[in-house]
A and B are shown apart, each in its own frame.
Chain A
Amino acid sequence: MLDYFIWLALAGGLLTAWIAAPLGLFVVWQRQAYFGETLAHSALLGVGIGLMLSINLSLAILITSFLLVFSLHLLKRHTQLTNDTLLGILAHGSLASGLVLVALQTGVNIDIMSFLFGDILNLAIYDLLFMALIAGLVTWFLTTQWRNLINLTLNADLAQVEGVAVSRLQLQMTLLLALVIAMSMKVVGILLITSLLILPAATARRWANSPEQMLVFAIILATIAIVLGLALSWYIDVPTGPAIVVCALGLFLLTLVLQAFRPQTA
């Protein structure tokens, strides 16, 4: 009989997969992978600030993400640097600051590795409730805004003319991404969360002929990666977060191989 905590881990993992995969599609389509990475790195600064001020860590991560988006916006306007340079500065600047802040905490026993690579086997019921809440929010947002989001991805000006509130939608999308990163940190950790966003989407692209198909495939692939990763971690005793990402990577590579034996399609 499997232990209670493994069922919690499975539930948390599946919830994360079902939320990260759909958002990951837009990250891939809008070429925002590096932006996602930067948001994720800034989460450790959020952890540092949260510990320092003794406030809820998820809340601290969210606030840090908003500050990061705001600073990115300011830096873009007032420097001549390109987007990827700015993202690089913010990503590693906030990760390093976060590590320093966490190290400065005395009297608290912090396992930094659990933030960096996830700690899915220590999920509490409270975490699951938080995840379920965000999962509901993401599902509601994506079902009501799906068409607008695709139109925004295609061309922002065209979407605006056709009646989409473009800047509001972009802001909502960014906030949601920050929320999802905050909630999936416990599952795969700050350094690996981007892979959970983009690997299922990238794998699904090879088989999909429409955005909706790609969504379904990405969710299925993410589910398989979570289940396999947990099983791998359980039976051969390796860290769970990396095991999940390795499984997602395995599916991607498998697709490449299968594709090589298939006649070329669009």
Chain B
Amino acid sequence: MYTSLMMEKILIQAQDICHRYNKECLALDHINLTLKADQISTLIGPNGAGKSTLVKILLKILKPTKGHVSHHTDLRVGFMPQKLFIDPTLPLSVAGFLTLGFDAKTSAKNLNTALAELNEQLALNHLFKHPVHSLSGGELQRVLLARALIREPNLLVLDEPVQGIDLQSQHQLYQLIYQQQRQRQCAVLMISHDLHLVMKNTDQVICLNRHVCCSGSLAHIQDHPDFLAQFGDMSPYQAWYQHQPHHCEHSHLDTKNHA
């Protein structure tokens, strides 16, 4: 009963979103999207499909040209941006960086408890005193995840969280993300390129190429002709880019250079 109620709680609802950066190019075309509490949603699509733009619109960082986004009053977002460039002239330790994200007003814990917990969960201990600009790719992503989690979010938004880190750390980071999701019972919206690591844990897959090609649970969409055309037999050795263009009514010029 409780669970079914929770499942109905809608955190973000986007209606009929269209966005243009300039006159010639329609970046997003009539997008409808619902993010529910406790659900893992994965946004997939080629480079230039508008994934990051859509996430920015969903989070109200960017105002769409047309359409409406509504947030639940309880919505608390933990956001992990795609890249964080910290200028070396800014002296900031990992502990200082995390403290800057801590919101004493909404948090039930005090700062030290929150830090100690994250330290244990994400194995950050030896990093706390390090300057943020000296971290390796994998370490920085873990610290960014901690920064998103310190706000005790009910929605965790991750923009390509494993980009630019080695395979072993990628796997480790995904494990951490799913582990935290289960433990904290929060919803997740993740942009991702690699289907195989991500898919099996996902409740809702949204396949985006300027418009929503198809969306739904994996079981629901895996027979969808658009999905099959894009991802075929899901063989782990077939990269996403190598698949045949699917048959929706738009040009594939933007995806060709990645083939």
Bind each other: yes
Query: Do B61 and A205 touch across chains, with their CB atoms under 8 A apart?
Result: no
Query: Do A266 and B131 touch across chains, with their CB atoms under 8 A apart?
Result: yes
- Provide the residues of chain B in CB contact with A201, threshold 8 Å: 89
- Provide the residues of chain B in CB contact with A188, threshold 8 Å: none
A54 within 8 A of B: no
Closest A residue to B101 by CB, please name it.
A162
Q: Nearest Cβ in chain A — how far from B64, in angstroms?
A: 15
- Provide the residues of chain A in CB contact with B61, threshold 8 Å: 157, 160-161
Query: Do A210 and B151 touch across chains, with their CB atoms under 8 A apart?
Result: no
A255 within 8 A of B: no
- Provide the residues of chain B in CB contact with A209, threshold 8 Å: 91, 93
In angstroms, Cα B146 to Cα A158, docked, is: 13
Contact of B59 among A30, A161, A214, A266 (CB under 8 A): A161
Which of A87-95, A145-153, A175-183 lies at the binding interface? A145-153
Determine the interface band of chain A, counting residues with CB < 8 A from chain B: 20 to 34
- Provide the residues of chain B in CB contact with A29, threshold 8 Å: 87, 89-90
Contact of B91 among A155, A157, A161, A214 (CB under 8 A): A214
Contact of B100 among A28, A30, A147, A157 (CB under 8 A): A147
Query: Do A157 and B79 touch across chains, with their CB atoms under 8 A apart?
Result: yes
Q: Nearest Cβ in chain B — how far from A33, in angstroms?
A: 11
B96 within 8 A of A: yes
A213 within 8 A of B: yes
Interface string of A197-208 (1 = CB under 8 A from B): 000011001001
Q: Nearest Cβ in chain B — how far from A198, in angstroms?
A: 10
B56 within 8 A of A: yes
Q: A161-B77, A162-B151, A266-B134 are in contact. Are A154 and B89 (CB under 8 A)?
A: no
In chain B, positions 89-120 with a C-beta closer than 8 Å to chain A are 89-93, 96-97, 100-101, 103
A250 within 8 A of B: no
In angstroms, Cα B131 to Cα A161, docked, is: 24
Q: Nearest Cβ in chain B — how far from A15, in angstroms?
A: 25
Interface string of A6-42 (1 = CB under 8 A from B): 0000000000000000000000111100000000000
In angstroms, Cα B86 to Cα A28, docked, is: 12
A211 within 8 A of B: yes
- Provide the residues of chain B in CB contact with A147, threshold 8 Å: 100
In angstroms, Cα B151 to Cα A150, docked, is: 17
In angstroms, Cα B90 to Cα A131, docked, is: 28
Query: Do A157 and B151 touch across chains, with their CB atoms under 8 A apart?
Result: no
Q: Nearest Cβ in chain B — how far from A215, in angstroms?
A: 11
B123 within 8 A of A: no
In angstroms, Cα B81 to Cα A157, docked, is: 7
Closest B residue to A161 by CB, please name it.
B79
Which of B77, B89, B92, B130 has most chain A Cβ within 10 Å? Answer: B89
Query: Do A205 and B84 touch across chains, with their CB atoms under 8 A apart?
Result: no
Considering the complex of A and B, which 9 residue pairs feature the smallest CB-CB distances, nearest first?
Answer: A161-B79, A29-B90, A160-B61, A208-B91, A266-B131, A28-B89, A157-B81, A205-B89, A157-B61
Chain A residues proximal to chain B, CB less than 8 Å: 28-31, 147, 150-151, 153-155, 157-158, 160-162, 201-202, 205, 208-211, 213-214, 266
Residue pairs across A and B with Cβ atoms less than 8 A apart, 26 shown, are A29-B87, A29-B90, A30-B87, A150-B90, A150-B100, A153-B90, A154-B97, A154-B100, A155-B81, A155-B84, A157-B81, A158-B81, A158-B147, A161-B59, A161-B79, A162-B101, A162-B151, A205-B89, A208-B91, A210-B91, A210-B92, A210-B93, A211-B91, A214-B91, A266-B130, A266-B131
Chain B residues proximal to chain A, CB less than 8 Å: 56, 59-61, 77, 79, 81, 84, 86-87, 89-93, 96-97, 100-101, 103, 130-131, 134, 147, 151, 157
